[in-house]
Chains A and B, each alone.
Chain A
Amino acid sequence: MSSAPAEEIPAEEIDLSEANHIIDKYLTLPGNLMPVLQGIQDSYGFVPRPTIDLVAERLNVYPSQIYGVLTFYSQFHMKPRGRYIIRVCVGTACHVQGAERIVDTFFGRLGIGHAETSADLRYTFEKVACLGACGMAPLAMVNDDTFGKMTVQKVDEIVETYNQRPM
Chain B
Amino acid sequence: MVNLTIDDKQVTVPRDATIYDAAKACGVKIPILCHDKKLHPFGGCRMCLVEVEQMKGRLIPSCTTPATEGMIVKTMTDEIVKARKLVLELLLLKHPIDCPVCDAAGDCDLQNLTYEYKVNSNRFTDEKFNHAIDYDNPLIERDMNRCIHCGKCARICDEIVAFGAYTFINRGIEAKMGTEFDGPLNCEFCGSCVSVCPVGALNSRPFKFKARWWALTKTKSVCSYCGTGCQLTLGSKDGKVLTTIYDENQGFHNGQLCTRGRFGYQFINSDKRLTSPLIRKNGKLQPASWEEALEMVTSRLRAGKSDPASVAALATARLTNEELFLFEKLFRGTVGTDNIDHSAGFAHEALTVGAKASFGVAASPSVIADVQKANLLLVVKTDAYETHPVIGFEINLGVKRKGIDLRIVSDKKGKLSRLPGAKTLVHTPGAETALFNALCRSVIDQGLAVEDAAGLAELKKALTDATPEKAAAVCGLSAAEITALAKDFASAEKALIILPIGLGYPGHGSALASAAANLAILTGKIGKEGCGLLIMGEKNNSQGAVDLGIYPKSTGLSAQAIIEACALGNVKTLFVAGENPVVSYPNRAKVEKALDQVEFMVVSDLFLTETAQLADVVLPACSFAEKSGTFTSLGRRVQMVRQAIKPLALAKSDFEILNAINSALGGGSFANQGAVFAEIAASVPAYQGLTQAGLGDEGAVLPVAIAAKLVPVAGEAQPTFAGKLALVTGSALYHNGTMSRFGEGPMYVCPDGYAELCVADAALLKIAEGDLVTVTSGAGSVSLAAKVGKRVPQGVVFAPYHFGEGSINTITDGSAVTWVTVGKK
Q: Given that A62-B158, A72-B171 are known contacts, is A67 also in contact with B181, CB under 8 Å in the complex?
A: yes
Nearest neighbor of A72 in chain B, beta-carbon distance:
B171
Tell whether B655 is near chain A: CB-to-CB under 8 Å: no
Partner of B171, one of A64, A66, A67, A74: A74
Q: Is the CB of A60 within 8 A of B418?
A: yes
**B471 CB to closest chain A CB, in angstroms?**
30
Q: Is the CB of A68 within 8 A of B418?
A: no
Interface string of B151-164 (1 = CB under 8 A from A): 00000001000011
Tell whether B169 is near chain A: CB-to-CB under 8 Å: yes
A66 to B169, CA, bound (A): 10
Q: Is the CB of A65 within 8 A of B164?
A: yes
A64-84: which have CB < 8 Å to B?
Answer: 64-68, 71-72, 74
Give the residues in chain B near A65, CB-CB below 8 Å. 164, 167
A82 to B290, CA, bound (A): 78
Partner of B180, one of A60, A64, A72, A74: A64
Q: Given that A60-B418, A62-B158, A64-B165 are known contacts, is A71 also in contact with B170, CB under 8 Å in the complex?
A: yes
Q: Is the CB of B420 within 8 A of A68?
A: no
Q: Is the CB of A64 within 8 A of B170?
A: no
Nearest neighbor of B419 in chain A, beta-carbon distance:
A60
Give the residues in chain A near B165, CB-CB below 8 Å. 62, 64
**B149 CB to closest chain A CB, in angstroms?**
13
Tell whether A98 is near chain B: CB-to-CB under 8 Å: no
Nearest neighbor of A66 in chain B, beta-carbon distance:
B180
Tell whether A63 is near chain B: CB-to-CB under 8 Å: yes
**Total interface residues on A, using CB and 8 Å?**
13
Q: Given that A60-B420, A62-B158, A63-B180 are known contacts, is A68 also in contact with B167, CB under 8 Å in the complex?
A: yes
**A53 CB to closest chain B CB, in angstroms?**
10
Q: Is the CB of A71 within 8 A of B169?
A: yes
Give the residues in chain A near B263, CB-CB below 8 Å. none
Give the residues in chain B near A68, CB-CB below 8 Å. 167-169, 178
Nearest neighbor of A67 in chain B, beta-carbon distance:
B180
A20-43: which have CB < 8 Å to B?
Answer: none
Partner of A67, one of B163, B182, B420: B182
**A128 CB to closest chain B CB, in angstroms?**
14
Nearest neighbor of B158 in chain A, beta-carbon distance:
A62
Q: Is the CB of B420 within 8 A of A64?
A: no
**B616 CB to closest chain A CB, in angstroms?**
54
Q: Is the CB of A62 within 8 A of B420?
A: no
Q: Interface of chain B, helix or strand or loop or mixed?
A: mixed
Give the residues in chain B near A62, CB-CB below 8 Å. 158, 163-165, 167, 180
Tell whether B166 is near chain A: CB-to-CB under 8 Å: yes
A148 to B182, CA, bound (A): 37
Give the residues in chain B near A74, CB-CB below 8 Å. 171
Nearest neighbor of A74 in chain B, beta-carbon distance:
B171
**A10 CB to closest chain B CB, in angstroms?**
17
Q: Is the CB of A71 within 8 A of B171?
A: yes
Give the residues in chain B near A72, CB-CB below 8 Å. 168-171
A60 to B182, CA, bound (A): 20
Give the residues in chain A near B167, CB-CB below 8 Å. 62, 64-65, 67-68
Q: Is the CB of B178 within 8 A of A67?
A: yes
**A31 CB to closest chain B CB, in angstroms?**
15
Partner of B166, one of A60, A61, A64, A71: A64
Give the residues in chain A near B179, CB-CB below 8 Å. 64, 67
A135 to B398, CA, bound (A): 61
**A2 CB to closest chain B CB, in angstroms?**
26
**B177 CB to closest chain A CB, in angstroms?**
10
A62 to B178, CA, bound (A): 13
Which residue, of A61, A65, A68, has the highest number of chain B Cβ atoms within 10 A?
A68
A65 to B163, CA, bound (A): 11
A48 to B158, CA, bound (A): 25
Nearest neighbor of B187 in chain A, beta-carbon distance:
A64
A76 to B418, CA, bound (A): 27
Give the residues in chain A near B182, CB-CB below 8 Å. 67
Which residue, of A49, A61, A65, has the highest number of chain B Cβ atoms within 10 A?
A65
Interface string of B416-453 (1 = CB under 8 A from A): 00101000000000000000000000000000000000
Q: Is the CB of A67 within 8 A of B418?
A: no
Give the residues in chain B near A63, CB-CB below 8 Å. 164, 180-181
Give the residues in chain A near B169, CB-CB below 8 Å. 67-68, 71-72
Give the residues in chain A near B166, CB-CB below 8 Å. 64
**B408 CB to closest chain A CB, in angstroms?**
15
Give the residues in chain B near A61, CB-CB below 8 Å. 164
A72 to B166, CA, bound (A): 14
A133 to B418, CA, bound (A): 51
Give the residues in chain A near B164, CB-CB below 8 Å. 61-65
Give the residues in chain B near A67, CB-CB below 8 Å. 167, 169, 178-182
A71 to B170, CA, bound (A): 5
Nearest neighbor of B179 in chain A, beta-carbon distance:
A64
Give the residues in chain B near A64, CB-CB below 8 Å. 164-167, 178-180
Which residue, of B167, B178, B420, has the highest number of chain A Cβ atoms within 10 A?
B167
**A92 CB to closest chain B CB, in angstroms?**
17
**A27 CB to closest chain B CB, in angstroms?**
15
A60-114: which have CB < 8 Å to B?
Answer: 60-68, 71-72, 74
A71 to B177, CA, bound (A): 12
**A57 CB to closest chain B CB, in angstroms?**
9
**A98 CB to closest chain B CB, in angstroms?**
25
A62 to B169, CA, bound (A): 13
A74 to B178, CA, bound (A): 17
Give the residues in chain A near B420, CB-CB below 8 Å. 60
A29 to B164, CA, bound (A): 22
B156-215: which have CB < 8 Å to A?
Answer: 158, 163-171, 178-182
Nearest neighbor of A60 in chain B, beta-carbon distance:
B418
A71 to B180, CA, bound (A): 11
Nearest neighbor of A78 in chain B, beta-carbon distance:
B181
A67 to B163, CA, bound (A): 15
A60 to B422, CA, bound (A): 11
Which residue, of B158, B169, B420, has the highest number of chain A Cβ atoms within 10 A?
B169
Give the residues in chain B near A60, CB-CB below 8 Å. 418, 420
**A50 CB to closest chain B CB, in angstroms?**
12
**B155 CB to closest chain A CB, in angstroms?**
12
Nearest neighbor of A73 in chain B, beta-carbon distance:
B171
Give the residues in chain B near A49, CB-CB below 8 Å. 181
Nearest neighbor of A62 in chain B, beta-carbon distance:
B164
A53 to B89, CA, bound (A): 40
Give the residues in chain A near B168, CB-CB below 8 Å. 68, 72
**A101 CB to closest chain B CB, in angstroms?**
26
A29 to B158, CA, bound (A): 22
Interface string of A104-139 (1 = CB under 8 A from B): 000000000000000000000000000000000000
A71 to B163, CA, bound (A): 20
A129 to B566, CA, bound (A): 81
A61 to B158, CA, bound (A): 10
**A135 CB to closest chain B CB, in angstroms?**
26
Give the residues in chain A near B181, CB-CB below 8 Å. 49, 63, 67
A166 to B171, CA, bound (A): 35
Give the residues in chain A near B170, CB-CB below 8 Å. 71-72
Nearest neighbor of B418 in chain A, beta-carbon distance:
A60
**A11 CB to closest chain B CB, in angstroms?**
12
A49 to B165, CA, bound (A): 17
Give the residues in chain B near A66, CB-CB below 8 Å. 180
A72 to B420, CA, bound (A): 25
Nearest neighbor of B182 in chain A, beta-carbon distance:
A67
Give the residues in chain A near B163, CB-CB below 8 Å. 62
Known: A64-B178, A65-B167, A72-B171. 7 other contacts (CB 8 A): A62-B163, A63-B180, A64-B165, A67-B169, A67-B179, A68-B168, A72-B169
CB pairs A–B below 8 angstroms (12 shown)? A61-B164, A62-B158, A64-B164, A64-B167, A64-B180, A66-B180, A67-B167, A67-B181, A68-B167, A68-B168, A72-B169, A74-B171
Query: Nearest 6 A-B pairs (CB), nearest first?
Result: A62-B164, A68-B167, A64-B180, A63-B180, A64-B167, A71-B169
Taking Cβ atoms with an 8 Å cutoff, the residues of B that contact A are 158, 163-171, 178-182, 418, 420
Taking Cβ atoms with an 8 Å cutoff, the residues of A that contact B are 49, 60-68, 71-72, 74
